Amino acid sequence: MPNTFSKSIGHKRIYSVIKMETDFLVIGSGIAGLNFAIKAAGRGNVLLITKAQLKEANSFYAQGGLAAVFGKDDSVKDHVRDTLRAGDGLSNRKMALILAKEAPARIKELEKMGVKFNKAKDDFKLSREAVHSRARIVHASDITGRRIEEALVKKAEKAKKITILEHHMAISLITAKKRCIGSRVISIKDNKIIDIFANNTILAAGGIGCLYEKTTNPDISTGDGIALAFRAGAVLEDMEFIQFHPTMLHNSNPPFLISETLRGEGALLKNSKGKAYMKKYHRDGELAPRDVVARFSEVEMKKTHAKNIFLDITHLDSKYLKKRFPNIYEECLKYKIDITKQMIPVSPAAHYICGGIKADSYGRTSIKNLYAIGECACTGLHGADRLASNSITEGLVVGARLAKKLAGGRIAKKKLDKIRLAKEKNGRLDKMKKQLQKIMWSNVGIIRNKKGLNSALEKIKKIEARLRVIKKKKVNEKIVELENMLLVGKIIAIAASRRKESRGTHFFQEYHERYDNIWQRHLLIDKEHYKLR
C-alpha cells in the first residue's frame, strides 16, 4: 500500500489519498456480499470492505432460515404463489420464479461449505412461517444467519484473491462517463482516505432499520448503500415499503428478534389482558402477512394502553422448546423470562426494507458497472411485503447469478478533490440521530397519515440544515452516516406521501384501501425526479 502524505491545518488534516485497484469491490460483509466475493474470487481480485467487524452484519442475526422447495408436498409453483401473495400485488413474478428454481442449489452449496442445517435423517428439517402454504424453511436451530455467516467468513479469509478491510466505510461512489469506477473510503481507525478503483462495484451494504427508534437491526444498518447509489444517480424503487416485524423482545438491549418460527410452531399473540387477538383480524391468525400482524398488534397495544403484547408458546413441551430454540431460550433467560413457563413480552419494530436500489435478477442497477445485492437492492421480488425467509435466499441467488456474469478488466481512474477530515465528538451527532429515529417511528412507521408525513419531511430538512453547518468544518464517518440516514429517511417519507393507497407494509390512514387500477405499479425515485412505472 503506498505511503500517504498529510499536512495539519489547525485541528483538521488534509490527506493526500491512498489509491488501490481491484477487479471487484464489494461494499458490505453480510451473507450476500461474502457469498458473492467467494464466487467472484475465481474470476479476479476481490476487495471487500465493511464499516464494522467482518461478522457484524444484519444477516448474522437472522434466526428463521431460508425458504426453498425441498418438501415432497411442495413445488416451485407453490413457492412462487406464496411470494406473490405476500407481496400484495407488486412482486415481480419472473424474479419469484428465478428464486424458487435456484434456491435449493444455493442452500446445498452452503451445506457443502460446512453449514450445519437441522436435518431429519438425510433430509432438511423444514419449518413453516407466515404466508407459506407449506413447510419450506431450512434452518440451523434459531441461529441460521450466524451459522451461514461464520462459514462464509471462514472461507473468505482463506481465499487468496480476497482482501478484507474491516472498519472501512464507503463515503461516495466514483463515477465517470455514467459509469461507476469505484468508491472513496474512510479508514475509520486511522482516519485516512482511500480511493479504490474497481472494474465492478457491488453494493451489499444491508438495510435501514436504524432510521427507526425501534428496530431489530444492529446499529450499522443505516441505509449507506442506498444513499451512495442515490447520490451517484442510481434509480431507487418501492422505498415506501418498510417491513415491521411484530415480535421484537420488548425493551431488549441490544435489540433481539423473537423469530416468526415460534408462531409457525403454534405460538399465540395475546394482548395485555391475556386474550389472543389475531383470529378476529385475519383468517390466518398469527401466520397472516407480517404487515397485518404488526399493524393489528399496534392497534391492540393502543386499545389496551400497553407498550407491548405477548407471545405465548408455553403449550409446547419444555424439552422440545429448549432444543428447537436454544438461542431464544437463553436470551430470554437473561431478562428473567422462561419461555417454557412464561409469555414473552414483544412489540413491533422496523425490520426490513422491501424497496431499495432498483436492480435486475443479476444485480445490475441503472448505472453501468454498479451492482446491488441483498437488502439494499430491490429486484421486485418482495413487492409491498416480503415473504418470510426469502431475503437471505434472494441474496444468495442474485449474488451467484452476478458472479457468473462478471469478469475482471481494465480499471479506469479519475483524479478526485482532497477533503478535510477531523475527529468530531459524537454528542451533537448522537442527539440528531435520536431525533431522526423518533421522527421516523412516530410519523413514517406502521400507521401513516398526511400530517405525520409532512411533519417528518419538515423536521428532517431542519436536521439536515444543522448537519450542513457541521460538515462545512469537517467530515468523518459519523457525519457521513448521519447524512445517509437523513437522506434515506427523507426519501422514504416522500415515497410514502406519494403512494395514496394502503398496500402491504404501507398503511395510509386517509387512503386505507388498495387501489389496483391506479397504484398496482412501482414508484421510482432518482436525484432528478420520481415517477411511476
Q: What residues act catalytically?
A: 290
Contact status, residue 378 vs residue 73, Cβ threshold 8 Å:
no
Supply 515's cell numbers: 387501489
d(CA 41, CA 485): 32
C-alpha cell at 390: 426469502
Prior bond to 218 cis, omega within 30? no
Nearest to residue 49, comparing CAs of 491, 477, 524?
Answer: 477
Q: Which of 375, 372, 354 is nearest to 362 (CA)?
A: 372
Give dist(CA 172, CA 163) in Å, integer: 20
The H or E element that residue 184 is part of is: strand 179-187
The CA angle 208-238-480, to the nearest 5 degrees, is 35
Nearest-10 crossing angle of helices 93-112, 76-86: 120
Q: 69: closest CA among 29, 102, 23?
A: 102
Contact at 8 Å (CB) between 250 and 347? yes
Residue 268 CB partners (closer than 8 Å, separation 6+): 276, 278, 286, 311, 312
Cα–Cα nearest to 381, from 350, 356, 344, 418: 356
Whole-number Å distance between alpha carbons of 127 and 234: 38
